[in-house]
A and B are shown apart, each in its own frame.
Chain A
Amino acid sequence: MPPPDRIKEEKLIAEVQNGDVSAFTKLVNQYSEQVLTLAYRIVSSREDAEDIAQKVFIKVYKGINQFRGDASFSSWLYTIVKNTCYSHLRKKRPEMVSLDEETDFINSISIAYPENTPETIDTRVDFQALVLECLKKLPPKYNLVIQLFFYQQLRYVEIAKILEIPLSTVKTHLHRALKLLRKEVLKNVKSHNMKGAC
């Protein structure tokens, strides 16, 4: 038997499918924060993220009858967020020919670790801000897999559905994404250290 929250959500979705606008506003209220945050972390602009979030909910309203309930509503919603963000990025960054650019080199990169450990990082450096800044530099597919796994706390199988990739690829993506992120963070930590030393 599905949990009470799921039943409540299914009821809400059924009401939206019957054209109930007030049920739709409840749905928007419930998911607007997650959608906006996910969009923001992918496109790196608050203004663009708000536009995307609006577009996403408009698509949800118009296409709600296509939602059959096979997957969870959040998976369906995040798939729309992903597609809308990707299409936005393609328009905004035409030089980015493919968002699924192959990064096989990631496995072969070697990382030189700084002398200090994360616990001894200069407190002047806002580590969280640094991590989020580095995350923006990751290819969108890696950025997205990190967002879905760590921020949205989704399971591998849900991420696989959203990204339309096999389960094993999700694990590989997550592994590569974290390695790439670590490399980027360390590069920035080193540059902060060098600035501090100067």
Chain B
Amino acid sequence: MNCDDIMEIYHKSLRTKLSPDESRTLKEHLAVCKECQNALSWDNAIVSALQSAESIVPQKDFVYEVCKELLLPKLSSENNFIRDIIFYAAAAFGAVGMTILWLGFWENVQPDYLGIAAYYSGIITENLQSFLSAMPEILLPQETRTFIPANFTWLVWIVFAGSAYFIISSLCPILPYSYKK
């Protein structure tokens, strides 16, 4: 048996129990072969270094990233239509809110040359009041009926800011609750 055969027996011994014959051959050879003694001691050190090597721990969001890769294309293809409808509705709502605000702002700080602001705010206030008074008491308590017209501009501001944020976040995916996430 040459040295390579002996090392093969040794490598076998790393995982399986050697037969008495193989054990004896290995021992007899090692007793006389300096080369194999050296190789074996280095291999032992290398194997123990390999076996005690630490594993690489994945990032905390690894599972999320894998699932995102898998599920997002599915979600986007299935829900694109609904998401787009919601997005355009919000954009339209934001545009209407902006117009109302602009009219109100214009009325307060500029002379109403064309009477546009007065006309629209008249329509809005009138319709809003008739809408509110038509609501059943259980849905809209009396105090709320006066609160809404009194704070109308602020409420529109809030709705408009929400719509604007929705539109901006859709263009900028890093923002929280982004439409694109």
Judged by a CB distance under 8 angstroms, whether A167 is at the interface is no
Judged by a CB distance under 8 angstroms, whether B7 is at the interface is yes
Whether B39 pairs with A28 at a CB distance below 8 angstroms is no
B14-72 interface (Cβ within 8 A of A): 15, 35, 38-39, 41-47, 49-53, 55-59, 62-63, 65-67, 69-71
Whether B63 pairs with A28 at a CB distance below 8 angstroms is yes
A21/B56 contact (C-beta < 8 A), A131-B50, A150-B51, A178-B43 known:
no
Judged by a CB distance under 8 angstroms, whether A171 is at the interface is yes
Judged by a CB distance under 8 angstroms, whether B8 is at the interface is yes
Judged by a CB distance under 8 angstroms, whether B11 is at the interface is yes
Whether B53 pairs with A186 at a CB distance below 8 angstroms is no
B contact residues around A21 at 8 Å (CB) = 67, 71
A182/B39 contact (C-beta < 8 A), A127-B49, A128-B53, A146-B50 known:
yes
| B62 to A: closest C-beta gap in Å | 6
A113/B38 contact (C-beta < 8 A), A29-B63, A32-B62 known:
yes
Number of interface residues of B (CB under 8 A): 34
Q: Compute how far the CA of A61 lies from the CA of B73 in the bound complex, rounded to whole angstroms.
A: 14
A contact residues around B66 at 8 Å (CB) = 28, 54, 57-58
Q: Compute how far the CA of A21 lies from the CA of B74 in the bound complex, rounded to whole angstroms.
A: 13
Judged by a CB distance under 8 angstroms, whether A88 is at the interface is no
A contact residues around B69 at 8 Å (CB) = 54, 58
- Pairs A–B under 8 Å by Cβ, sample size 28: A25-B67, A28-B62, A28-B63, A33-B57, A36-B55, A37-B55, A40-B56, A49-B56, A50-B58, A53-B62, A61-B70, A111-B39, A113-B38, A113-B39, A118-B42, A128-B49, A131-B50, A132-B49, A132-B50, A135-B50, A146-B50, A150-B51, A151-B50, A175-B4, A175-B7, A178-B11, A182-B43, A185-B46
A interface vs B, CB < 8 Å?
Answer: 21, 24-25, 28-29, 32-34, 36-37, 40, 46, 49-50, 53-54, 57-58, 61, 107, 111, 113, 117-119, 127-128, 131-132, 135, 146, 149-151, 155-156, 171, 174-175, 178-179, 181-182, 185-186
